Amino acid sequence: LRSRLPQVGTTVFTVMSALAQQHDAVNLGQGFPDFDGDVRLIDAVNDAMRAGLNQYPPMAGVPALRAAIAAKVEALYGHRYDADTEVTVTAGATQAILTAVLCCVHPGDEVIVLEPCYDSYGPNIELAGGTVVRVPLTPGSFRPDLARIAAAITPRTRLLIINTPHNPGASVWTRQEMQQLAELLRPTDVLLLSDEVYEHMVYDGRPHVSAASVPELAARAFIVSSFGKTYHVTGWKVGYVAAPAPLSAEFRKVHQFNVFTVNTPMQHGLARYMADPAPYLELGAFYQRKRDLFRQGLQATRLSPLPSEGSYFQCVDYSALSDLPEAEFCRFLTAEIGVAAIPLSAFYAEGFEQRVVRFCFAKKDETLQLALQRLARL
């Protein structure tokens, strides 16, 4: 078989989680919580199943969930999406991103991604026949460099993918940066995919600036989020896309022949649970405490933490203690120290090394403490 993705192997997250298990290491690699979602949410899903809500839902998603999503986005970001024509429930953000790319990228189109970036973006663009154009984020801070984005735009640019709060860099776009992006895109017909799966994890009083909150951007954007991140249920794989009606219509054409629909009882359970905004409004404080606990503990190690403004990731520079390339350092950390991490090189095109690895702090306090004890031996 001639591969559609000849450069692609198994994702680094799967590889590192398997290695962590093999060595009984504390897994701070793959991004997922080691604690469960709220029992009220689990009850809501169980109630939906027992109430017989187990057959196909409408193609775009259960109406009550789409209405709850539209209401939340309007309350937080001030943009009103029509729940019937502009919100689509997806099988996680992963499917949302692939479907958005497939519905608008034609062979030969260029798609700009800001590197480092989530590992699915590049292969998604290649599957659509597009060309990946990699623009670096500012080294060290992982902030967007608007001048470099502007310089990368050509008449063939079809789509720009951004991600805030950022995985793996944990940076958060400011309102000024979003406004600058709006100005930059104004004379173009470039579409925007804004991956906002960590929207509720922002720290130190910073706001999450959704592309939905900037009208000019909202008019050309697919906004993507994920309930897996927000409600500590990454295995449920439910997310959504909000986009203007013409974009949503094209999105749904691909969606209906991609997954057709997303599982019914979880959508009903999520709709019921969303009636209370407290769980997502309190998420920032919940994770900020864990971030602080973890960063505090890192002071007793020889690892230097980079800023973490949002997301549940903390990058560290290990250049003071090792010259090993990142992937090798992660294997050493996992096998010899008993803590798994993700090499930052996994988020770049082949070969970019900077002696930085990513930890996920979405873990019980005792898990973080055990990891810190082990890291202090470095």
Q: Is 199 in the site for ligand PMP (CB under 6 A)?
A: no
d(CA 162, CA 166): 9
Q: Is 196 in the site for ligand PMP (CB under 6 A)?
A: no
Q: Is 116 in the site for ligand PMP (CB under 6 A)?
A: no
Q: Which is nearer to ligand PMP, 316 or 346 (CB)?
A: 346
Nearer to ligand GLN, 118 or 280 (CB): 118
Stretch that binds ligand PMP, among 35-43, 226-234, 284-292, 347-355 (CB under 6 A): 226-234
Q: Which amino acid is at 352?
A: F
Q: How far is CA 9 from CA 120, 155, 275, 336, in A?
A: 12, 32, 41, 25
Distance between CA atoms of residues 312 and 201, nearest Å: 7
Burial of 308 (0-12, 13-18, 19+ CB in 10 A): buried
- Residue matched to tokens 């989530």: 118
11 interacts with, out of ligand PMP, ligand GLN, none, CB within 5 to 8 A per kind: ligand GLN
Count CB neighbours of 49 within 10 A: 14
Q: Which does 92 bind (CB under 5 to 8 A by kind): ligand GLN, ligand PMP, none?
A: ligand PMP
State the minimum distance, in angstroms, from the CB of residue 377 to ligand PMP: 29
Distances in Å between the Cα of 268 and the Cα atoms of 36, 45, 63, 108, 238 are 19, 7, 9, 40, 12
Residue 357 falls in which region: left (phi positive, over 0), alpha (psi -120 to 50) or beta: beta
Taking the least distance from each CB to ligand PMP, the nearer of 223 and 372 is 223
Which stretches of the chain bind ligand GLN, using CB under 6 A? 11, 13, 30-31, 167
Q: Which of residues 88-107 bind ligand PMP (CB under 6 A)?
A: 92-94
Residues lying near ligand PMP in the complex (CB under 6 A): 31, 92-94, 118, 163, 167, 195, 197, 226, 228, 234, 237, 239
